[in-house]
Amino acid sequence: MEESLDFTPKFDEKGLIPCVATCDKTGDVLMFAFMNEEALNKTIETGEAHYWSRSRQSLWHKGATSGHIQKVTEMRTDCDQDCIWIKVETNEGACHTGRKSCFYRKIQGNLNVKMEFIDEKKLFNPDDVYKG
């Protein structure tokens, strides 16, 4: 059983490690994304969340376009060191739909029933923030 204090993150076969970002005030999960080694190192060095964008295949400094920087207040890894959890302080939404959290819809206890909005409110207009 590996329980050491050496940080030896395990990247998958694509060189990525999953990362969960939660709000440091409410504990709500804001978003889920992947980091490659560069993104992980940059997050540690700068204290601001960096991810690997699988759709754009490039380093993604969260907030560089939208202004919604995520300041990391705590960073942990799990028992297998194959996942990262960051608590972040953010000035606005984490979600590209304009909401605070990407997890704004609740799944019901029955697959035949539609989901329910937890949060319908948009904090910003995505069209204003993400241009071009």
**How many of the chain's residues bind a second copy (CB under 8 A)?**
46
In this complex, which beta carbon is closest to a second copy, that of residue 54 or of residue 64?
Answer: 54
- For residue 128, give the H/E element and its range: helix 126-129
Q: Which is nearer to a second copy, 59 or 102 (CB)?
A: 102
Q: Which two tokens stand for residue 94?
A: 């984490």
33: nearest Cα among 115, 94, 107: 94
String of DSSP letters for 6-49: -------TTS-EEEEEEETTT--EEEEEEE-HHHHHHHHHHSB-
Report whether 54 contacts 36 (CB < 8 A).
no
Binding status of residue 83 toward a second copy by CB under 8 A: yes
- Among the listed residues 11, 71, 92, 126, the single contact to a second copy using CB under 8 A: 126
Contact map string, positions 37 to 76, toward a second copy, x by CB under 8 A: ----x--x--x--------------------------xxx
Where on the chain is the footprint of a second copy (CB under 8 A)? 1, 3, 5-7, 18, 20, 22, 26-29, 31-32, 41, 44, 47, 74-80, 83-85, 95-97, 99, 102-107, 109-111, 114-118, 126
